[in-house]
Structure 1
Amino acid sequence: MFVVLMYLWPTFYMELVFCKWVFAFLLCCWLIFSVACSVEGLHGDAKVRGVNLGGWLVVEGWIKPSLFDGITNGDMLDGTQVQFKSVTLQKYVSAENGGSANVTVDRDVPSSWETFRLWRVSDSEFQFRTSQGQFLTCDGEGCSVSAVADSPSTKETFYIERNNNNRVHIRLNSRTYLHASIANQLTADYPGTPGWDDNAATFEMTIVANNLHGDYQLANGYGREKAKEILKKHRNSFINVEDFNFLYRHGINTVRIPVGWWIAYDPNPPAPFIGGTLEALDNAFSWAQAYDIKCIIDLHAAPGSQNGMEHSASKDGSTGWPTSPDFISQTLHVIDFLASRYARHPTLLGIELLNEPSAATVPLDILVSYYKKGYQIVRKYSSTAYVIMCQRIGNADPLELYQANIGSVNTVVDLHYYNLFDTFFVNMSSVDNIQFIYKSRESQLQALNSANGPLVFIGNLRGMGE
């Protein structure tokens, strides 16, 4: 059985060096000693004892919230969900049928049709995406706003002016303001400049969700030059050679390093992503070699996003990766880049082909096809590196990957157990969580381990007690 329990994230949140490492180290030790066993490429007792270097080369805002502190209108980042209510009509702006139709101001209670995801152009310019994926659009002064644009450009870009009590005005570049007409339409023909009283051009804006704080939101929120400064400082300080020294002295022999797809295009990745992660990864391999630590490279963020979460660098919470052959081809290129660069490095233990694809949006056949191609790419450069395939998160059985016949040599299935998001665990203490893992998870691990297929890897095991 190949088992690594990866836990660094809760401690990084504290942003305290001592707590960061000591807590992570203890949690790993509690969970791994009884299950880890021989793995090729490790010295000594050949047990994998590892931590995950989360939040370093792939940004996750909950790990280090202060990264986002300097962004103007930081509560209106890409992917933020908003609703608008006319103060005169007391009705919500709505994209009929969720898109591909007119926009009205006639709903008493907001739901999905009345919720728009922001695409941020600047700190005051935004595009509004509907629940079905279209964008609000306006041809110019006097137009009625509709939700029929499949992609945004100038006509789909609006300015938002805010005051201190959540009231906003929405206008075109021409300075013509949108207003809610008595016919319940949203039109660009308000006369003059509105005040903040109860007038037809004033809306109450409700931020429904602002939970995406990833690489896309950081880079696009700050702008390229400021984001380069912020991320350079972060990457140079968040993890350094002394951390590897600390891990070595405390018996950790493996690190898993999440990376984003843009690493293959360093030093000038596509906008808005910021270069520098490749240099940092090279440094990590050098530090690991100096302290006899192995590295697992984990492709955490795929182009288009494989799960809509911030750690996949999703722009707005949507999952485009499985719907685009170009995205999948581009992801395979990234695997080729990483394998060709690091396969012969003595510290490489394995490459994880994709982190946490969503069971709700990534079909199994598409994922298995990708994993098979990714396996062959890694084998082109290495006959021994472990090829790690993450289970789909959500309603999916880990056995589906055991039955897929993806590869025959050093293949591993990565299991992610999230007690944290299951109400069954709400009233459990840390000790209760750990005992549940020891006793109740053990039977499934034993069943998987005897399935005569890939080895078992536990990449996430998060309990409520943390």
Structure 2
Amino acid sequence: MLLRPAFLMELVLTKWVCAFLLCCWLFVSGVYSVEGLRGDSKVRGVNLGGWLVVEGWIKPSLFDDIPNEDMLDGTQVQLKSVTLEKYVSAENGGGMNVSVDRDIASSWETFRATLQTQLTADYPGKPGWEDNAATFEITIVANTLHGDYQLTNGYGYSKAKDILKRHRNSFITVGDFSFLYRHGINTVRIPVGWWIAYDPDPPAPFIGGTLEALDNAFSWAQAYNIKCIIDLHAAPGSQNGMEHSASRDGSTDWPNPDHISQTLHVIDFLASRYARHPALLGIELLNEPSAAAVPLDTLVSYYKQGYQIVRKYSSAAYVIVCQRIGNADPLELYQANIGSHHLVVDLHYYNLFDNFFVNMSAVDNMQFIYKSREAQLQALNSANGPLVLIGEWVNEWNVTNGSQTDYQDFGRVQLEVYNLASFGWAYWTLKNDRPHWDFEWNIKNNYLQLGNSPKNWNVNSLVLLGSAYVSFYLHNIL
């Protein structure tokens, strides 16, 4: 039987395309794999946020019984003299005199209430209330910090110790690891604070017990064949001024050399303790350093030292470095030559916290994931550098009237794109007072549908790639 040349060409081309796609799949499978995971080749993770590092918005009830909760550490207040009708001001922003001479309250007229820098008004004799310049009206401008510092100082040591003990024993349990295992989760990312290295008697006001809880988590993880990423969420002096970094008053003092040295000691402690544990997958050296307050060269120097410390104890543990939050390009860490192998860059993807997302529709949010996030992930995957972890993301947005179907679609789009990350992803967070942030609630109420295990490469992407190559072949060769 004679075959037409065109048919022969089509047959050969079809076989060539199939072989090409198979090679692509095998190549990508080999490149994007995470050693030590069960089943899937990449991380499908969930964060255990709000457990060993307190975040009041995750569990507000922790703060319910604090007397005078309006004046926790870091609360910002403005003081106005009743008789002078002038605001108290720190001249030149602080470090000089304090005066009562400003008509309008701004940053220099806003103070954090702290025990170490009390503002007092001394008056000889017996002051009156209404006709005395030393009588002030207090306006609370911001009361946003609800972390470990605020909880302990708010309750006092004894009561805070009892509250935190109950919280650590009940918020995350072995039953949660069973739930995660049943739903295909192979990794937990566990935020810890720097004081864990000094357990059971950490410096005041921090309270011991987090080390025992972390040990429990590793045991539970091992029992369910789940891996652990230890994430240093709160560093000495605070790396971003937020409550999840255990900031006292909103300041960012971590770049101080003494604080960096202390942080490296914490990494050494964690690496030496858990490096040989079969449940350890990696150690994240620092969570969300602020781009505004942490210079890149300072951060890179710390990351390089932290990498070497982990390598001193393990050649297999992944070392994870977090992108700076704010105005920073993740490529800055790819160009830093931090470590030679098993290095991961952590990106946090939220369609929140920025005015850019405020007026977006459901469709706009999903298109942004496809057009911006997918393009960035593909660029980083091909950058011939560290692996990529989407270490925090959530099935929540600024869309106020989203239906269950909208949430399902949003979650599906995020999973489809974040599955492209060469190391994997981790949802923020397992339990939360706000339902859509709560992984367990999302799964049980069918707002987030995990579907099958992620593949190393999207099948549609391979088909498109093959089609493009076929088009090139037909146009340029035949």
Does TM, scored on the shorter chain, surpass 0.5? Answer: yes
1:72 to 2:67 alignment: yes
Q: Deviations over 1:57-83 (max 9, x none)?
A: 000111111111111111111111110
Letter in 1 for 2:112: R
1:63 to 2:50 alignment: no
Within a 5 Å distance, the mapping from 1:385-464 to structure 2 comes to: 385-429=317-361, 432-462=364-394, 463-464=397-398
CA contact (8 A) 1:61 1:213 kept: yes
Q: Which residue of 2 aligns with 1:112?
A: 107
- In the aligned structure 2, how far is the partner of 1:234 from the partner of 1:438? 39
Once the 2 structures are TM-superposed, how far is the Cα of residue 429 of structure 1 from its aligned partner? 4.6
Structure 1 unmatched runs, 5+: 1-35, 122-151, 159-169, 171-177, 179-187
CA contact (8 A) 2:281 2:318 kept: yes
Query: Which protein shows a greater Rg?
Result: 2
CA contact (8 A) 2:91 2:99 kept: yes
- In the aligned structure 2, how far is the partner of 1:338 from the partner of 1:230? 25
1:249 to 2:244 alignment: no
CA contact (8 A) 2:78 2:141 kept: yes
Q: Give the aligned CA root-mean-square deviation in angstroms.
A: 1.8
CA contact (8 A) 2:51 2:168 kept: yes
Match of 1:95 among 81, 90, 93: 90
Once the 2 structures are TM-superposed, how far is the Cα of residue 339 of structure 1 from its aligned partner? 0.6
- In the aligned structure 2, how far is the partner of 1:447 from the partner of 1:192? 71
- In the aligned structure 1, how far is the partner of 2:363 from the partner of 2:219? 37
SS, match of residue 252 in structure 1: coil
SS, match of residue 206 in structure 1: strand
With normalisation by structure 2, the TM-score equals 0.74
Q: Which residue of 2 aligns with 1:52?
A: 47
- In the aligned structure 1, how far is the partner of 2:124 from the partner of 2:330? 57
Q: Which residue of 1 aligns with 2:135?
A: 202
Q: Which residue of 2 aligns with 1:26?
A: none
CA contact (8 A) 1:190 1:201 kept: no
Once the 2 structures are TM-superposed, how far is the Cα of residue 38 of structure 1 from its aligned partner? 2.5
Letter in 1 for 2:134: A
Once the 2 structures are TM-superposed, how far is the Cα of residue 282 of structure 1 from its aligned partner? 0.3
CA contact (8 A) 2:123 2:134 kept: no
Q: Which residue of 2 aligns with 1:234?
A: 167
SS, match of residue 321 in structure 1: coil
Once the 2 structures are TM-superposed, how far is the Cα of residue 436 of structure 1 from its aligned partner? 2.4
1:275 to 2:204 alignment: no
CA contact (8 A) 1:37 1:48 kept: no
CA contact (8 A) 1:81 1:207 kept: yes
Instruction: Flag the 1:351–1:66 CA change in 2: closer, same or farther, 3 A.
Output: same
Match of 1:192 among 117, 120, 126: 126
Q: Deviations over 1:386-417 (max 9, x none)?
A: 10000111111100000000001110000123
Q: Which residue of 2 aligns with 1:166?
A: none
Q: Which residue of 1 aligns with 2:223?
A: 290
CA contact (8 A) 1:307 1:357 kept: yes
CA contact (8 A) 1:96 1:113 kept: yes
CA contact (8 A) 1:342 1:348 kept: yes
State how many pairs are aligned: 369
- The higher-RCO structure (CA 8 Å, 6+ apart) is 2
1:261 to 2:194 alignment: yes
1:374 to 2:306 alignment: yes
Q: Whose helix fraction is larger, Structure 1's or Structure 2's?
A: 2
Q: Whose strand fraction is larger, Structure 1's or Structure 2's?
A: 1
CA contact (8 A) 2:38 2:186 kept: no
Once the 2 structures are TM-superposed, how far is the Cα of residue 427 of structure 1 from its aligned partner? 2.6
- In the aligned structure 2, how far is the partner of 1:250 from the partner of 1:290? 15
Which region of structure 1 is more displaced relative to structure 2, 419-428 or 300-309?
419-428
Q: Deviations over 1:225-270 (max 9, x none)?
A: 1110110011111100101111111111111000000000000000
Q: Which residue of 1 aligns with 2:4?
A: none
1:217 to 2:150 alignment: yes
Once the 2 structures are TM-superposed, how far is the Cα of residue 102 of structure 1 from its aligned partner? 2.2
- Runs of 4 or more consecutive aligned structure 1 residues displaced over 6 Å after TM superposition: none
1:330 to 2:262 alignment: yes
Letter in 2 for 1:240: T
- In the aligned structure 1, how far is the partner of 2:267 from the partner of 2:246? 17
CA contact (8 A) 2:81 2:136 kept: yes
- In the aligned structure 1, how far is the partner of 2:363 from the partner of 2:213? 36
Structure 2 unmatched runs, 5+: 1-30, 400-435, 437-478
- In the aligned structure 1, how far is the partner of 2:88 from the partner of 2:156? 30
Which region of structure 1 is more displaced relative to structure 2, 348-357 or 103-112?
103-112
Match of 1:361 among 288, 293, 306: 293
- In the aligned structure 2, how far is the partner of 1:402 from the partner of 1:388? 12
Q: Which residue of 1 aligns with 2:451?
A: none
- In the aligned structure 2, how far is the partner of 1:47 from the partner of 1:104? 59
- In the aligned structure 2, how far is the partner of 1:100 from the partner of 1:247? 51
Instruction: Flag the 1:460–1:105 CA change in 2: closer, same or farther, 3 A.
Output: same
CA contact (8 A) 1:433 1:464 kept: no
Q: Which residue of 2 aligns with 1:140?
A: none
CA contact (8 A) 2:235 2:286 kept: yes
CA contact (8 A) 1:194 1:201 kept: no
SS, match of residue 100 in structure 2: strand
Q: Deviations over 1:270-309 (max 9, x none)?
A: 0000000000000000011111111100000000111111
- In the aligned structure 1, how far is the partner of 2:363 from the partner of 2:150? 36
- In the aligned structure 1, how far is the partner of 2:393 from the partner of 2:364? 14
Letter in 2 for 1:464: N
